[in-house]
Amino acid sequence: MYRTSSRTRPRARGPLGRWGLATGILALSAVTLTGCGLQPATSYIPAVGPGSITPLDGADGVNLTVTSRSFTEHLLLGKIAVLAGTAAGFDVTDLSNVPGSQPTRELLLSGQADILWEYTGTAWLTYLGQTEAITDQNEMWQAVYDLDIKNGVTWGAPAPMNNTYALAVRSEAVADLGNITALSELAALPVADRTFCVDSEFNSRPDGMNPMLTHYGLERGTANGVPANNIGIYDTGAIYSATDNGDCNFGEVFTTDGRLDALDLTVLADDLAFFPAYNVAPIFFTETLEAHPGLEEIFAKISPRLTDEVLRGMNRQVDVDGAEPANVAYAWMIKEGFITDPTS
């Protein structure tokens, strides 16, 4: 079953008490998830041996709590963090599979979790209350680092993977559309070929469909731009298959979704830099990092290996092939030499 989104997007929310929410989510993650058909936070992790990650001085007997949200990509990242912490010699508590972005954030802010992978754009727009998106990936990371350090949160090195919005086209149609590779080439297409599948949120977002078209020299609702009937509104999960089926030429997608490879969809380059950066990075409860600074170096080894292609492959193994996130993360960590299998 596909998730309806590969990441929680900014939305309006009311004030929530930090301690009440953080305490409540511990029970919710342990009990409610089983009833929803999701794996509980205590799902197994295979035995871990040291690889390029070896035990840190002072880690023995120290608890390290890892949290993650409950969608596929975040579960994979959470399991990677659990495996890394275990190889580093900590007694790791696996608090992955928490439903919702705000609860995981609160667990880290309160010190009830030590490590969480987070997206720069989510932090900037949702948690830190900023309204202007930053498209440059390095600038975005530095901006969230500078603000979040004041909240007792330290951002580690970002990964190349940038799980942002994009438009994709079925690969067999690329040649028919003039070998299109980039969003700036949309304006050169015949009007009849400028057809889009989007969801209702992207259709109305202030940083969504309409400003994207304007940014690339097209106006919605005009005969020479993108006529209204050229845009179809779909449920998020249906866009990928609709695009693959040719219901439209260009579908709104997320750049690390496993269905891109499974359905052979080609992502168009955002060559005029419209979409905000959503690079993922490990973030730490600052007090934990001060006590164990070697953690930052360990995750700095992992982050550069997490590319869009790598995450698309891992997401596909879970969402399309039905693999267990822990097994997929484990196989990747062994392949990259970060850990070893002590039973082999």
Number of C-beta neighbours around residue 53 at 10 A: 25
Number of C-beta neighbours around residue 294 at 10 A: 16
User: What is the arithmetic mean of pLDDT over 299-316?
Assistant: 97
Contact 134, 276 (CB under 8 A): yes
User: What is the arithmetic mean of pLDDT over 277-303?
Assistant: 98
Contact 273, 98 (CB under 8 A): no
- DSSP secondary structure string for all residues of 19-83: HHHHHHHHHHHHHHHHHTTPPPTT------EESSS-PPTT-TT-EEEEEEESSHHHHHHHHHHHH
10 inside domain: no
In which band, very low, low, confident or very high, does the pLDDT at 43 lie, cut at 50, 70 and 90? low
- DSSP secondary structure string for all residues of 248-278: -SEEEEETT-THHHHTTEEEPB-TT--SPP-
User: What is the arithmetic mean of pLDDT over 42-68?
Assistant: 91
What pLDDT does residue 206 have? 76
User: What is the arithmetic mean of pLDDT over 263-288?
Assistant: 97
* Domain housing 72: 18-162+278-340
What pLDDT does residue 28 have? 42
User: What is the arithmetic mean of pLDDT over 285-301?
Assistant: 98
Could you tell me the CATH number of the domain that includes residue 192? 3.40.190.120
142 and 170 inside one domain: no
What pLDDT does residue 3 have? 29
313 inside domain: yes
203 inside domain: yes
Q: Per the structure block, which two tokens stand in for 295?
A: 């953690």
Please, what sign has the CA dihedral across residues 253, 255, 256, 262? Answer: positive
Predicted TM-score of the model (pTM): 0.83
- Residue after which a domain boundary falls, among 267, 301, 325: 267
- Counting the structural domains of the chain, the total is 2
Degrees, nearest 5: CA angle 21-284-27: 25
Contact 286, 231 (CB under 8 A): no
d(CA 260, CA 124): 26
Q: What integer best gives the mean pLDDT of the chain? A: 88
User: What is the arithmetic mean of pLDDT over 2-9?
Assistant: 32
d(CA 97, CA 342): 26
What pLDDT does residue 317 have? 97
Contact 196, 167 (CB under 8 A): yes
Residues 6+ apart with CB under 8 A from 86: 45, 48, 92
d(CA 254, CA 198): 12
2 inside domain: no
Residues 6+ apart with CB under 8 A from 270: 164, 166, 182, 183
Contact 8, 122 (CB under 8 A): yes
User: What is the arithmetic mean of pLDDT over 213-229?
Assistant: 96
User: What are 68-117's pLDDT values in tens digits?
Assistant: 999 999 999 999 999 999 999 999 999 999 998 899 999 999 999 999 99
User: What are 252-275's pLDDT values in tens digits?
Assistant: 999 999 999 999 999 999 999 999
User: What is the arithmetic mean of pLDDT over 207-226?
Assistant: 95
In which band, very low, low, confident or very high, does the pLDDT at 6 lie, cut at 50, 70 and 90? very low
- Residue after which a domain boundary falls, among 267, 293, 311: 267
Return the percentage of the chain with pLDDT > 90, whole number: 82
Question: Which of these ranges, 13-17, 75-79, 89-93, 233-237, has the smallest mean pLDDT?
Answer: 13-17
Task: Flag whether pLDDT at 239 surpasses 60.
Answer: yes
Please, what sign has the CA dihedral across residues 124, 257, 104, 100? Answer: positive
- Residue after which a domain boundary falls, among 267, 300, 315: 267
What pLDDT does residue 135 have? 93
In which band, very low, low, confident or very high, does the pLDDT at 27 lie, cut at 50, 70 and 90? very low
Task: Flag whether pLDDT at 30 surpasses 50.
Answer: no
What pLDDT does residue 236 have? 83
190 and 260 inside one domain: yes
User: What are 327-344's pLDDT values in tens digits?
Assistant: 999 999 999 999 999 998
Question: Which of these ranges, 13-17, 86-90, 119-123, has the smallest mean pLDDT?
Answer: 13-17
1 inside domain: no
